Structures are given as C-alpha cells and as structure tokens.
Structure 1
C-alpha cells in the first residue's frame, strides 16, 4: 500500500524529516503525542509528527509514501486502498482521496514533537 503526497503537502512537511509520522484516524494520539482514551469512526484523519522512536505500539503497520513511512493501525486498513493521495485543494484544505472519492475533506496536519 502506498499514499502519495502532492507538492503542496510535501512543502508543508519539509521540516518533518526528523520525525516519525502517524496517520491517525480515531483520535488515538492526544496533544502530548501519547495515546488517549477516545474514539471516532474512521473519517477524522490526522497526519501527526511525533518524536523519532516514540510511535505507540498500537500503530502496528507502516504505509509507504513518497515522503516518509506512515505509521498506521492494521485494523484500520479497511478504510484504505492502494494508490491513495493526500492533496491540498484550492482553499488550502488537506484531503485524503482514493480512486474517484474523497475519504476525508479536512485532514489535520499536526506537529506534536515540541509538546511536553
């Protein structure tokens, strides 16, 4: 499985090369970058930078991308398909897309590396 970022998103992530990236879909990570109690139903995607080496065990698979590996939950694979893209639309909103459909029209991009 692979997710491709468009050029606008790659530019946004330029300073994330020294981070682990998590694609969270059910609010697993809190603002501290650590797991929290809570849930949502697979439509609230967040791309999160966390400190290298601190990926919680619940993110047990890696998805390839044209930027860096994305840590993800195996049980969430049902929400994904091969060849997905993460793009920025004309009003600067980030979208997760599959072939012919928008999965999430407002993906959050968050950097939790500096939060203590």
Structure 2
C-alpha cells in the first residue's frame, strides 16, 4: 500500500517530521493520542500526529508515503487500495483518493502531540 501526499498538504504538515502519523478512520485515538472506548458510525478519516514511539499496537499496518510511514488498523484495510493520494482541493479540504474514486472528501488534520514544536 502506498499513499502519495501532494505538495500543498506536505506544506501544511511541515512540522510533523518528529511525529508518528496515524490514519484513523473510526475515531480510535482520543485527545491524548491513546485509544478510547466506543465506536464511530460511518467512516471519517483523520490524519493524526502523535508523539514519537507512541503508536498504539492496534495500528499494525504501515502505509508507505512520501510523508514517512503512516500507521493504520488492520481491520480497516478494506477501505484502502494499493495506490492512494492525499490532496488539497480548491476549497482547502483534504481529500483521500484512489485511482478511480474519492475515498473521503474531508480528511481532518489533527495534532495530538503532547509537546509540539
């Protein structure tokens, strides 16, 4: 699996080089960057920065990207395809796409690191 992040999105995340990055689709990570109980109805992707070396074990899949490794949950692989892109739309929303379709038209960018640069 590979995710290509466009230049506009990379510019928005220019201080994320010292973070672990998680692609969360079901609100697994709480405000402290740790898993929370509960569930989400539907799929709503969030690209989340958390403190280095703090990726919860549930995020066992690694997606290769030009942003660095992105961690994802094994049970959510059905939502993803082999080659995807994360792009900024004209209205500044972040979109997750594959070669043939839009996966999510409004991916949230969330920084849950306890010590931010």
TM-score, reference length from structure 1 = 0.94
1:15, distance to aligned residue in structure 2 (A): 0.5
- Once residues 86 and 10 of structure 2 are traced to their aligned partners in structure 1, the CA distance between those partners, rounded to angstroms, is 10
Count of residues in correspondence between the two structures: 115
SS of equivalent residue, structure 1 residue 18: coil
Instruction: Tell me what 1:59 maps to.
Output: 59
Once the two structures are superposed, residues 45-90 of structure 1 have per-residue CA deviations (whole angstroms, 9 ceiling, x without a partner) of 0000000000001001111001110000111111100110000000
Q: Does 1:77 align with 2:77?
A: yes
Structure-to-structure mapping, 1:77-116, within 5 angstroms:
77-114=77-114
Gaps of 5+ in 1: none
Q: Does 1:25 align with 2:19?
A: no
1:39, distance to aligned residue in structure 2 (A): 1.8
Once the two structures are superposed, residues 17-40 of structure 1 have per-residue CA deviations (whole angstroms, 9 ceiling, x without a partner) of 000000000110011111101222
Instruction: Tell me what 2:68 maps to.
Output: 68
TM-score, reference length from structure 2 = 0.93
Instruction: Tell me what 1:4 maps to.
Output: 4
- Once residues 9 and 85 of structure 1 are traced to their aligned partners in structure 2, the CA distance between those partners, rounded to angstroms, is 10
Give the root-mean-square deviation of aligned CA atoms: 1.2
- Asked if structure 2 preserves the Cα contact closer than 8 Å seen for 1:26 and 1:44, the reply is yes
